[in-house]
Amino acid sequence: MSTLATYFLSHGGGPWPFMRAEFGHTYDKLDASLRDLPRQIGGKPKAILVVTAHWETARFTLSSSARPPMIYDYSGFPPHTYQIQYPAPGDPALAGRVRALLQAAGHAALLDGQRGFDHGTFSAMYPAFPEADVPIVQLSLQHGLDPLTHIEAGRALRPLRDEGVLIVGSGLSYHNLRQFNGHGAPASHAFDAWLRAVMALPPQQRSAALLDWENAPSARAAHPRAEHLLPLMVAAGAAEDEAAHEVYHEDDFFGALAVSSFRFGAAAG
């Protein structure tokens, strides 16, 4: 497998792939984009590193269990969504490799042998790899949510792309849960338009713009906290010299919101 592209995926809300009856066609576009991911990368990767918006630690931390448990990090959903299993294996060796790369770049990193798959991981990976047969390691965000720190972490992880490891930043391009309705539409559209324009910039200009994301239109209305945007910084940093490509976009998510996902680097073939 040639050098893999990296991804920032807007992963949707809660355990949506397991709630088709409840959500109807709400997630059809996102589902189609995720199902297309193996085609874009030319098949199944050797392993996947998921930078998850749902895990923040004082130092970068890797899930290192060979058999990760499940974390149902949501509330108010139907009982069956607390029984979901996504039995993809972990990869302790990859966790160690990622830790070594981060440490070599000056970033302290730890291993966590108890951490399970949160919904930012299993809800994004299930549509793409429903057989759960690709090993997955999760990488936390670092407290402080500093954009440069996360872009630098992505830079450090660049070698993984030549080792068959797919780097996925799992977040949401709009994440203001208190306005996750028509009231959030103006901010989501303003920020999403800025983000899509930034993704079209030459790579070095793109990095500079991402570092200054708080000055984007409606930035803090779209992201009161940056945790669902920061996985994008890691994915972008790991493919910093390569063009970005929009792989998912809709203007009427939940009837009103604008959301997007991006690939950094060329598709296979």
pLDDT tens-digit series, residues 224-262: 999 999 999 999 999 999 999 999 999 999 889 999 999
Cβ atoms of 210 and 232 closer than 8 Å:
yes
Which secondary structure element, helix H or strand E, spans residue 177, and what is its range? none
Q: For residue 130, give Cα distances in angstroms to 89, 209, 259.
A: 13, 35, 23
**What number is the average pLDDT over the span 65-86?**
97
CB 9 within 8 A of CB 261: yes
Q: Give the mean model confidence (pLDDT) for residues 116-133.
A: 98
Tell me what the pLDDT averaged over the chain comes to: 96
Query: Which residues share a beta bridge with 47?
Result: 165
pTM exceeds cut of 0.95: yes
Domain limits, the chain: 6-264
* Furthest C-alpha separation in the chain: 47
Q: In CATH, which of 3.40.830.10, 3.40.190.10, 1.20.1730.10, 3.40.50.1950 is domain 6-264?
A: 3.40.830.10
pLDDT of residue 269: 67
pLDDT in the model for residue 63:
98
Round to whole Å and give the CA distance between 101 and 217.
35
Q: How much of the chain, in percent, has pLDDT values that exceed 70?
A: 99
DSSP helix/strand/coil, 9: strand
